[in-house]
Amino acid sequence: MRRIFPFAVLLLGVSLGLLPVLRAQSKEDSGKGLIWNESVIGTSSSLGTVTRFDSTLGYNFNRYFAVDFGVPFLFVHASSSSTTATLRSANGIGDVYLDLRFTLRNPAVNFISTIRGSAPTGSTSNGFSTGRATVNWNNHFDRTFGRVTPYAELGVANTAPDTAYFVRPSTTLGLTGHFEGGAAVNLARLLNFHASAYAIEPSGQQKVFSKFLTGSSAPAGPAASHGRFFQTAHETVGSADIARDHGFSLGFDSRPFGALDLAIGYTRSVTFDLNTLYFGVGVNLARLLGSASH
Protein backbone atom coordinates (compact mmCIF):
# COMPACT_ATOMS: atom_id res chain seq x y z
CA MET A 1 0.00 0.00 0.00
CA ARG A 2 2.91 2.34 0.72
CA ARG A 3 4.08 2.00 -2.89
CA ILE A 4 0.67 2.67 -4.43
CA PHE A 5 -0.61 5.56 -2.29
CA PRO A 6 1.93 8.21 -3.42
CA PHE A 7 1.15 7.44 -7.05
CA ALA A 8 -2.59 7.78 -6.42
CA VAL A 9 -2.03 11.18 -4.79
CA LEU A 10 0.20 12.23 -7.71
CA LEU A 11 -2.44 11.22 -10.28
CA LEU A 12 -5.16 13.11 -8.47
CA GLY A 13 -3.00 16.23 -8.20
CA VAL A 14 -2.03 16.18 -11.87
CA SER A 15 -5.62 15.64 -12.99
CA LEU A 16 -6.98 18.50 -10.89
CA GLY A 17 -4.09 20.77 -11.82
CA LEU A 18 -4.82 20.45 -15.52
CA LEU A 19 -8.49 21.38 -15.24
CA PRO A 20 -7.95 25.18 -15.29
CA VAL A 21 -6.37 24.86 -18.74
CA LEU A 22 -9.87 24.15 -20.05
CA ARG A 23 -10.66 27.86 -19.92
CA ALA A 24 -7.90 28.59 -22.40
CA GLN A 25 -9.00 25.99 -24.93
CA SER A 26 -10.62 26.96 -28.24
CA LYS A 27 -14.33 26.17 -28.54
CA GLU A 28 -14.41 25.97 -32.35
CA ASP A 29 -14.86 22.17 -32.39
CA SER A 30 -17.70 20.78 -30.27
CA GLY A 31 -16.28 17.25 -30.51
CA LYS A 32 -19.75 15.68 -30.27
CA GLY A 33 -20.30 12.36 -31.95
CA LEU A 34 -20.94 8.64 -31.80
CA ILE A 35 -18.32 6.17 -30.58
CA TRP A 36 -18.51 2.76 -32.21
CA ASN A 37 -15.37 0.65 -32.43
CA GLU A 38 -14.76 -3.01 -33.19
CA SER A 39 -11.31 -4.37 -32.41
CA VAL A 40 -9.35 -7.57 -32.02
CA ILE A 41 -5.96 -8.17 -30.45
CA GLY A 42 -4.29 -11.54 -30.48
CA THR A 43 -1.19 -12.73 -28.60
CA SER A 44 0.79 -15.91 -29.16
CA SER A 45 3.40 -17.45 -26.85
CA SER A 46 4.74 -20.85 -25.83
CA LEU A 47 1.56 -21.30 -23.75
CA GLY A 48 -0.75 -20.85 -26.74
CA THR A 49 -2.86 -17.98 -28.06
CA VAL A 50 -5.20 -15.54 -26.34
CA THR A 51 -7.43 -13.47 -28.62
CA ARG A 52 -9.67 -10.67 -27.40
CA PHE A 53 -12.52 -9.15 -29.42
CA ASP A 54 -13.95 -5.86 -28.16
CA SER A 55 -17.18 -4.21 -29.26
CA THR A 56 -17.48 -0.65 -27.94
CA LEU A 57 -20.36 1.81 -28.23
CA GLY A 58 -20.57 5.26 -26.68
CA TYR A 59 -20.77 9.00 -27.17
CA ASN A 60 -18.49 12.06 -27.12
CA PHE A 61 -20.47 14.79 -25.34
CA ASN A 62 -17.91 17.43 -26.34
CA ARG A 63 -14.18 17.64 -26.95
CA TYR A 64 -13.47 16.89 -23.28
CA PHE A 65 -15.91 14.28 -21.97
CA ALA A 66 -16.97 10.90 -23.34
CA VAL A 67 -18.53 7.66 -22.14
CA ASP A 68 -18.58 4.23 -23.74
CA PHE A 69 -19.72 0.69 -22.97
CA GLY A 70 -17.77 -2.36 -24.08
CA VAL A 71 -18.26 -6.12 -24.33
CA PRO A 72 -15.14 -8.31 -24.68
CA PHE A 73 -15.02 -11.88 -25.96
CA LEU A 74 -12.01 -14.07 -25.22
CA PHE A 75 -10.71 -17.09 -27.12
CA VAL A 76 -7.92 -19.14 -25.50
CA HIS A 77 -6.20 -21.94 -27.38
CA ALA A 78 -3.51 -23.92 -25.56
CA SER A 79 -0.38 -24.89 -27.44
CA SER A 80 -0.18 -28.58 -28.35
CA SER A 81 3.60 -28.43 -27.92
CA SER A 82 3.45 -27.02 -24.38
CA THR A 83 5.37 -28.97 -21.75
CA THR A 84 2.46 -28.39 -19.34
CA ALA A 85 0.04 -31.20 -20.22
CA THR A 86 -2.90 -29.77 -18.26
CA LEU A 87 -3.25 -26.56 -20.31
CA ARG A 88 -6.70 -26.27 -21.88
CA SER A 89 -8.59 -24.14 -24.38
CA ALA A 90 -11.70 -22.07 -23.64
CA ASN A 91 -13.75 -19.18 -24.96
CA GLY A 92 -16.51 -16.89 -23.73
CA ILE A 93 -17.51 -13.42 -22.69
CA GLY A 94 -15.21 -11.37 -20.49
CA ASP A 95 -16.13 -8.67 -17.99
CA VAL A 96 -18.30 -5.97 -19.59
CA TYR A 97 -17.08 -2.45 -18.85
CA LEU A 98 -18.02 1.22 -18.76
CA ASP A 99 -15.46 3.94 -19.54
CA LEU A 100 -15.65 7.56 -18.38
CA ARG A 101 -13.04 9.59 -20.26
CA PHE A 102 -11.67 13.12 -19.98
CA THR A 103 -9.47 14.44 -22.82
CA LEU A 104 -7.43 17.62 -22.84
CA ARG A 105 -5.50 18.48 -26.00
CA ASN A 106 -2.89 21.16 -25.39
CA PRO A 107 0.34 22.29 -27.13
CA ALA A 108 2.26 21.66 -23.91
CA VAL A 109 1.01 18.10 -23.35
CA ASN A 110 -1.98 15.98 -24.34
CA PHE A 111 -3.75 14.38 -21.40
CA ILE A 112 -6.35 11.60 -21.34
CA SER A 113 -7.77 10.28 -18.07
CA THR A 114 -10.00 7.20 -18.15
CA ILE A 115 -11.89 5.47 -15.36
CA ARG A 116 -13.04 1.96 -16.30
CA GLY A 117 -15.50 0.03 -14.18
CA SER A 118 -16.00 -3.65 -15.03
CA ALA A 119 -18.77 -6.00 -13.95
CA PRO A 120 -17.99 -9.70 -13.23
CA THR A 121 -19.80 -11.16 -16.24
CA GLY A 122 -16.91 -13.42 -17.29
CA SER A 123 -16.23 -16.95 -16.11
CA THR A 124 -13.90 -17.33 -13.13
CA SER A 125 -13.38 -21.02 -13.97
CA ASN A 126 -11.96 -19.94 -17.35
CA GLY A 127 -9.89 -17.17 -15.78
CA PHE A 128 -11.81 -14.49 -17.68
CA SER A 129 -12.99 -12.77 -14.49
CA THR A 130 -12.08 -12.47 -10.82
CA GLY A 131 -15.73 -12.76 -9.81
CA ARG A 132 -15.55 -9.21 -8.43
CA ALA A 133 -16.22 -5.77 -9.86
CA THR A 134 -12.97 -4.05 -10.84
CA VAL A 135 -11.98 -0.40 -11.35
CA ASN A 136 -9.03 0.95 -13.31
CA TRP A 137 -8.01 4.63 -13.35
CA ASN A 138 -5.51 5.25 -16.16
CA ASN A 139 -3.79 8.52 -17.14
CA HIS A 140 -2.06 9.06 -20.48
CA PHE A 141 0.34 11.90 -21.37
CA ASP A 142 2.00 12.56 -24.72
CA ARG A 143 3.60 15.30 -26.78
CA THR A 144 4.86 15.27 -30.36
CA PHE A 145 8.28 16.59 -31.34
CA GLY A 146 8.58 16.38 -35.11
CA ARG A 147 8.32 12.69 -35.98
CA VAL A 148 8.69 11.46 -32.38
CA THR A 149 5.89 11.25 -29.81
CA PRO A 150 7.05 10.30 -26.30
CA TYR A 151 4.27 9.13 -23.97
CA ALA A 152 3.70 7.93 -20.44
CA GLU A 153 0.83 6.14 -18.74
CA LEU A 154 0.28 5.57 -15.05
CA GLY A 155 -2.71 4.28 -13.18
CA VAL A 156 -4.18 2.51 -10.18
CA ALA A 157 -6.51 -0.49 -10.30
CA ASN A 158 -7.62 -3.55 -8.40
CA THR A 159 -6.58 -5.78 -11.29
CA ALA A 160 -3.64 -5.91 -13.71
CA PRO A 161 -5.06 -4.57 -17.00
CA ASP A 162 -4.34 -5.81 -20.51
CA THR A 163 -2.50 -3.40 -22.79
CA ALA A 164 -2.75 -2.69 -26.51
CA TYR A 165 0.22 -5.06 -26.95
CA PHE A 166 -0.34 -7.80 -24.37
CA VAL A 167 -3.45 -9.82 -23.49
CA ARG A 168 -2.40 -11.37 -20.20
CA PRO A 169 -2.45 -15.15 -19.65
CA SER A 170 -4.15 -14.56 -16.30
CA THR A 171 -6.56 -12.25 -14.50
CA THR A 172 -5.58 -10.77 -11.15
CA LEU A 173 -7.42 -9.33 -8.16
CA GLY A 174 -5.72 -6.94 -5.76
CA LEU A 175 -4.51 -3.36 -5.48
CA THR A 176 -2.14 -2.62 -8.37
CA GLY A 177 -0.19 0.30 -9.79
CA HIS A 178 0.56 0.07 -13.50
CA PHE A 179 3.00 2.16 -15.51
CA GLU A 180 4.15 2.38 -19.12
CA GLY A 181 6.50 4.73 -20.92
CA GLY A 182 7.83 4.87 -24.45
CA ALA A 183 7.74 6.64 -27.77
CA ALA A 184 6.24 6.32 -31.23
CA VAL A 185 8.29 7.29 -34.28
CA ASN A 186 6.64 8.19 -37.58
CA LEU A 187 8.69 6.32 -40.20
CA ALA A 188 6.46 7.07 -43.17
CA ARG A 189 3.07 8.56 -43.90
CA LEU A 190 1.27 5.33 -43.03
CA LEU A 191 3.76 3.60 -40.73
CA ASN A 192 4.84 4.14 -37.12
CA PHE A 193 7.34 2.30 -34.94
CA HIS A 194 6.88 2.17 -31.18
CA ALA A 195 8.96 1.02 -28.23
CA SER A 196 7.80 0.98 -24.62
CA ALA A 197 8.50 -0.49 -21.21
CA TYR A 198 5.84 -1.41 -18.64
CA ALA A 199 5.63 -2.31 -14.97
CA ILE A 200 2.90 -3.89 -12.85
CA GLU A 201 3.46 -3.10 -9.16
CA PRO A 202 0.90 -4.80 -6.87
CA SER A 203 0.41 -4.18 -3.17
CA GLY A 204 -0.98 -6.50 -0.51
CA GLN A 205 -2.66 -9.86 -1.04
CA GLN A 206 -3.22 -10.89 -4.65
CA LYS A 207 -5.20 -13.56 -6.47
CA VAL A 208 -4.15 -14.89 -9.86
CA PHE A 209 -6.68 -16.72 -12.08
CA SER A 210 -5.14 -18.65 -14.98
CA LYS A 211 -6.75 -18.53 -18.44
CA PHE A 212 -5.01 -21.78 -19.37
CA LEU A 213 -5.79 -24.00 -16.37
CA THR A 214 -8.84 -25.30 -14.54
CA GLY A 215 -8.95 -26.91 -11.12
CA SER A 216 -8.70 -26.03 -7.46
CA SER A 217 -6.93 -23.08 -5.89
CA ALA A 218 -3.43 -23.30 -4.45
CA PRO A 219 -1.14 -21.21 -2.28
CA ALA A 220 1.84 -19.55 -3.93
CA GLY A 221 4.81 -21.90 -3.85
CA PRO A 222 8.24 -22.48 -5.36
CA ALA A 223 6.84 -24.67 -8.17
CA ALA A 224 6.09 -21.65 -10.37
CA SER A 225 9.09 -21.12 -12.65
CA HIS A 226 9.84 -17.41 -13.28
CA GLY A 227 6.70 -16.47 -11.33
CA ARG A 228 4.37 -18.23 -13.76
CA PHE A 229 1.76 -19.13 -11.16
CA PHE A 230 -0.84 -19.13 -13.95
CA GLN A 231 0.95 -22.23 -15.28
CA THR A 232 0.82 -24.25 -12.04
CA ALA A 233 -2.71 -23.68 -10.67
CA HIS A 234 -6.00 -22.26 -11.82
CA GLU A 235 -6.22 -19.92 -8.81
CA THR A 236 -3.29 -18.81 -6.69
CA VAL A 237 -3.45 -16.64 -3.56
CA GLY A 238 -0.35 -14.97 -2.23
CA SER A 239 1.69 -11.83 -1.69
CA ALA A 240 2.20 -9.02 -4.18
CA ASP A 241 5.07 -10.92 -5.80
CA ILE A 242 2.75 -13.40 -7.54
CA ALA A 243 1.20 -10.63 -9.68
CA ARG A 244 4.26 -8.40 -10.18
CA ASP A 245 5.44 -8.04 -13.78
CA HIS A 246 7.65 -5.84 -15.93
CA GLY A 247 8.76 -5.98 -19.53
CA PHE A 248 8.83 -4.17 -22.86
CA SER A 249 7.17 -4.05 -26.28
CA LEU A 250 8.40 -3.28 -29.79
CA GLY A 251 6.16 -3.01 -32.82
CA PHE A 252 4.69 -1.26 -35.82
CA ASP A 253 1.27 0.26 -36.36
CA SER A 254 -0.45 1.78 -39.35
CA ARG A 255 -3.66 3.57 -40.31
CA PRO A 256 -4.13 2.83 -44.04
CA PHE A 257 -7.22 5.02 -43.95
CA GLY A 258 -9.07 6.94 -41.26
CA ALA A 259 -11.29 4.13 -39.98
CA LEU A 260 -8.80 1.25 -39.88
CA ASP A 261 -5.91 0.64 -37.45
CA LEU A 262 -3.39 -2.20 -37.78
CA ALA A 263 -0.65 -3.27 -35.37
CA ILE A 264 1.94 -6.03 -35.11
CA GLY A 265 4.86 -6.57 -32.75
CA TYR A 266 6.61 -8.32 -29.90
CA THR A 267 6.25 -8.16 -26.11
CA ARG A 268 8.62 -9.68 -23.59
CA SER A 269 7.69 -10.20 -19.96
CA VAL A 270 11.05 -10.16 -18.20
CA THR A 271 9.48 -11.31 -14.93
CA PHE A 272 7.72 -14.31 -16.48
CA ASP A 273 10.49 -15.01 -19.03
CA LEU A 274 7.69 -15.04 -21.61
CA ASN A 275 8.00 -13.96 -25.25
CA THR A 276 4.79 -12.95 -27.01
CA LEU A 277 3.94 -11.95 -30.56
CA TYR A 278 0.86 -9.79 -31.01
CA PHE A 279 -1.37 -8.36 -33.71
CA GLY A 280 -4.21 -5.88 -33.57
CA VAL A 281 -6.98 -4.73 -35.89
CA GLY A 282 -9.37 -1.90 -35.09
CA VAL A 283 -12.28 -0.52 -37.12
CA ASN A 284 -13.94 2.81 -36.31
CA LEU A 285 -17.48 2.14 -37.53
CA ALA A 286 -18.72 5.55 -36.37
CA ARG A 287 -16.25 7.22 -38.72
CA LEU A 288 -17.30 4.96 -41.57
CA LEU A 289 -20.88 6.02 -40.97
CA GLY A 290 -19.87 9.67 -40.79
CA SER A 291 -21.14 9.97 -37.20
CA ALA A 292 -17.83 10.30 -35.34
CA SER A 293 -16.56 13.56 -33.88
CA HIS A 294 -13.61 15.20 -35.61
For 103, other C-beta atoms within 10 Å of its C-beta total 17
For 275, other C-beta atoms within 10 Å of its C-beta total 13
For residues 223-245, b (16+ Cβ closer than 10 Å) or e, as one string? ebeebbbbbbbbbbbbebebbbb
pTM to 2 decimal places: 0.83
For 28, other C-beta atoms within 10 Å of its C-beta total 6
| pLDDT per residue rounded down to tens, the chain (294 residues) | 555 445 444 544 544 444 444 444 434 445 789 999 999 999 999 999 999 999 999 999 999 999 999 999 999 998 876 555 567 889 999 999 999 999 999 989 999 999 999 999 999 999 999 999 999 999 999 999 999 999 999 999 999 998 888 899 999 999 999 999 999 999 998 999 999 999 999 999 999 999 998 765 445 444 456 788 888 888 999 999 999 999 999 999 999 988 999 999 999 999 999 999 999 999 999 988 886 554
> Residues 23, 24, 29, 35: is their CA dihedral positive or negative?
negative
Beta strands in the chain (DSSP E): 33-45, 48-60, 65-78, 90-93, 97-104, 110-118, 134-142, 148-157, 170-173, 176-188, 191-202, 206-210, 217-219, 235-238, 245-257, 260-269, 274-284
Residue type, 70: G
Closest C-alpha among 193, 200, 135, 191 to residue 166 = 200
Angle at 152 between CA 147 and CA 158, to 5 degrees: 150
Residue 20: phi, psi to the nearest 5?
-60, -20
